[in-house]
Amino acid sequence: MANLKEVRTRIASVSSTKKITSAMKMVSAAKFKKAQNNLLKFRPFNDKITDLVHGLMAAKVQAAYLCPRKQERNVLLLLITSNNSLCGAFNSNIIKEAKREYERVRIENPEANVCFYCIGSKGEDVLRREGFSVIARNHDCIDKPSVGATKHVFNDLVKGYRDGKFDRIVLVYNKFKNAATQELIAEPLIPMAKPEGQKRASIPPIVEPDKAALLDSLLPYYLQNLLHRAIMESHTAEHGARMTAMHQATENATALHDELLLEYNKARQAAITDEILEIVSGANALNG
């Protein structure tokens, strides 16, 4: 059994850790609530834009960003992670999914050059360390998502696609479900995937000047919206994961503190018992 000084030191260390994790949990909870509110306000607007675009696509209207290229020489994987750690398996899970997507692309098209665009420093650090090709990065737009920052990233992606640097762009991110659960998503960004099972309106809408012109003007805005939604989803999921991780860490620290306190009391009682036995033995020796 450890001596009393060692146990006291461990109790103090665990108590300090518990205070830190508890404070981080409260900070993450506040950030999570704000991010969740922003995401929930954004989703209805995004759903309406999606329904409109999918309705036009169901009418078999041809437009830019819809037709896949005959040869895919360059594929870009846009990976969204976080800039900070202490959020459980949030980053490691999505990085593993990005690697799986990388392998899927290489199997489908062995001659394609596959590279990464990283939003979030944690993803970039791992990919560079493991020798993957990271051609660009932007870590500022993940901490405080904004339409302006997203537009800057999107313009870079569209320019690369138009110039032929990328033939396909795939979005890989964590979709928010609840504070403890994230869904790993790997979906095409450009060119767009055709919607499945799209329901047509009973009364076709009147579109002027025509559906093709509307879809051409709407698609860039929709794709930027899609990217911004992914960033907001990942941002919210990150704070939810960190809040959950800090909650679990605080509970573990509490349990460990109770175990150490019990061990300390046992050691102290054993030391007192030993001292009493020594005193009694000495008194008996004097009386004898």
Q: Give the CA distances from residue 226 to residues 169, 194, 222, 271, in Å, rounded to whole numbers and listed in that order.
A: 13, 14, 6, 67
Cis amide linkage into residue 191, ω under 30° from 0: yes
pTM of the model: 0.84
Cis amide linkage into residue 44, ω under 30° from 0: no
CA 276 to chain centre: 59
pLDDT digits (tens, 9 = 90+) for 40-96: 898 888 888 888 887 777 666 666 777 777 788 889 999 999 988 888 889 999 999
pLDDT digits (tens, 9 = 90+) for 92-149: 999 999 999 999 988 888 888 889 999 988 988 999 999 888 888 888 888 888 888 8
The answer regarding whether domain 63-238 maps to CATH 3.40.1380.10 reads: yes
